[in-house]
Structure 1
């Protein structure tokens, strides 16, 4: 079975699994005090600078939530797109654990802009209102679109001008970097991003995420937040091994490029079906489309995927590093047959 529901459905990349197995033979110090984790941290430093503070985590929800908890006060709010993962898909973790308010701005295809953020700062000095402290952007977005470097920099400059920090949810950061033809540094450090949730799980890893404090000052004492937040993993070497494999010889780029290419191929082939309408720009590894309602349940039986907007019969198809050309052909063939 090949699923198109999420890149989370894909297995662990063989090179990453091999690295996990390679560190499974001897005893090593726990809680990240091991040579494997240290080697992985050195690789992160090459991408985000030697001053960045890196903390390995197990899940994206925990990474986003604990970062936001650490850089805010209880009277603060975080501004994000209405479709943002922290707003829609994290079961209220930010509100429950970080204890802050989420304020979502109008977004176009999942992307914020300075113009959409500005109205949320209008009453910022009013004691009766939650005070915005962070702007959170997702790269690439939940709608599969990608912020350009200029768009990221504009938001960061605006945020800093108004005393706000910028958090980037980078669950699919690798896909965005490939789409832009750039590296992680150019898309984050050089644009002014303060802190990043770096995703590995969706790009061939298994339970491997990282909090990257590019602005190292705001990362002070985060180790205590991570521990209290139950994300200090005892056998950290298994997470470090995954990042070591992912960031060596640009495996991250290879995996993401494959996923992006297959999404483009899928979009091209389904466009040949007159009853299918692509609804969002295909810029990374997601394809959104409107399909006849009667087709959806039967197609899902063979190829699991999510319905994004049931009222509009809009669905989301995701590709991953493991998707093949034959998977695309099989999917499109089944779609045509059902229609």
Structure 2
């Protein structure tokens, strides 16, 4: 595999960390502090979450997205649970079978074009709950933004969560790029989470300028009961949690988390503008956040990789992902090179 260092659109995981977040870790490292989340940084970060989502919010912290998803799903899973999710969901495609192996959950992946579940998907599968031959679909898992870069609008989320709850299902949201959704929809974060009916949100940091770190945010307090035990069982309790929490405290304090996501979205939109001017390029999905899915002529593939570190998937589609560190100048330089291919 060819390594890259100067520029990449392969993933927002490839970006640098924001200097303010690195500095927050340095400050948190001064002196001694209580362990396992009993420190001031964790308390301050949790207060930030409560100020955004409400005082009833219960927050735990995690090292990474897969760990956060597994721990959160463990809180909502029953012994016979199945999870309804898009076939493209990260838990279904990029977590090495962790939900099945660690939680013994059956994932029911629903084919979708844009990575979004519909109310009809839940309605169609609800009858499996009454057949003891089937794993009972007790959980609906959605991603916001989706793995295809698309967004659930407020009304879509409310209807989907309402249908799930009417059928005794709980709703888990993989929010690895939740900030990008809030920035793109220009909405109150509660509108696409707690107020819409989401039960537990895995709030992403790593893809949005953090060194590492996610938060597991419970809006249904019953689900958080004794989660402190599950938290450690699933290896997500950091003894020096202050280094995760300090980043959240800094990011949530003055809106930095939205500012970083907005930059990522805007540079993606700017790249879309340039790509639309190249006749040989076909954008195959709506560009609603910081991901662009497109097709290039086969003869361009090596050049695209050399320019962006991006390769086509099995269907020949290339994904570009911008981040807080992507600049308009980066996009201009890339567009100029693409125009010469």
TM-score bracket relative to the smaller structure: over 0.9
**TM-score, reference length from structure 1:** 0.97
SS of alignment partner, residue 186 of structure 1: helix
188, 194, 200: which one aligns with 1:195: 200
32, 51, 59: which one aligns with 2:56: 51
Preserved CA contact (<8 Å) 2:122 2:164? no
Residue 333 of structure 1: how far off its partner (Å): 2.0
244, 250, 271: which one aligns with 1:245: 250
Give the distance between the partners of 1:108 and 1:272, measured in 2 at CA: 24
Residue 61 of structure 1: how far off its partner (Å): 0.3
1:144 aligns with 2:162: no
Name the counterpart of 2:235: 230
Give the distance between the partners of 1:8 and 1:195, measured in 2 at CA: 23
SS of alignment partner, residue 340 of structure 2: helix
1:140-193: CA deviations, max 9, x gaps?
Answer: 000000000000000110001001001110000000011111121121111111
Preserved CA contact (<8 Å) 2:85 2:141? yes
Preserved CA contact (<8 Å) 2:304 2:311? no
* Stretches of structure 1 lacking an aligned partner (at least 5 in a row): none
1:258 aligns with 2:263: yes
258, 271, 279: which one aligns with 2:276: 271
Q: For the structure 1 residues 306 and 185, does the alpha-carbon distance in structure 2 shift closer, same or farther, using more than 3 Å as the test?
A: farther
SS of alignment partner, residue 109 of structure 1: coil
Name the counterpart of 1:24: 29
Give the distance between the partners of 1:331 and 1:116, measured in 2 at CA: 40
1:337 aligns with 2:329: no
Residue 134 of structure 1: how far off its partner (Å): 0.6
1:51-79: CA deviations, max 9, x gaps?
Answer: 11100000100111111122112311010
Name the counterpart of 2:3: none
Name the counterpart of 1:316: 319
SS of alignment partner, residue 211 of structure 2: coil
Give the distance between the partners of 2:244 and 2:88, measured in 1 at CA: 29
320-329 or 116-125, which deviates more:
116-125
SS of alignment partner, residue 115 of structure 2: coil
Give the distance between the partners of 2:87 and 2:240, measured in 1 at CA: 36
**TM-score, reference length from structure 2:** 0.96
1:281-311: CA deviations, max 9, x gaps?
Answer: 0000011111112211222123212423x33
Preserved CA contact (<8 Å) 1:295 1:335? no
1:73 aligns with 2:78: yes
Give the distance between the partners of 1:120 and 1:31, measured in 2 at CA: 41
Name the counterpart of 1:172: 177
Residue 245 of structure 1: how far off its partner (Å): 0.8
Preserved CA contact (<8 Å) 2:267 2:290? yes
Name the counterpart of 1:112: 117
* Runs (4+) off by over 4 Å: none
* Stretches of structure 2 lacking an aligned partner (at least 5 in a row): 1-5
SS of alignment partner, residue 123 of structure 1: helix
Q: How does 1:147-162 map to 2 (within 5 A)?
A: 147-162=152-167
Preserved CA contact (<8 Å) 2:128 2:137? no
180-189 or 142-151, which deviates more:
180-189
Name the counterpart of 1:291: 296
SS of alignment partner, residue 36 of structure 1: helix
SS of alignment partner, residue 253 of structure 2: coil
Give the distance between the partners of 2:236 and 2:154, measured in 1 at CA: 31
Name the counterpart of 1:124: 129
Residue 332 of structure 1: how far off its partner (Å): 1.7
Residue 123 of structure 1: how far off its partner (Å): 2.7
Give the distance between the partners of 1:106 and 1:178, measured in 2 at CA: 27
Give the distance between the partners of 1:173 and 1:180, measured in 2 at CA: 11
Preserved CA contact (<8 Å) 1:260 1:284? yes
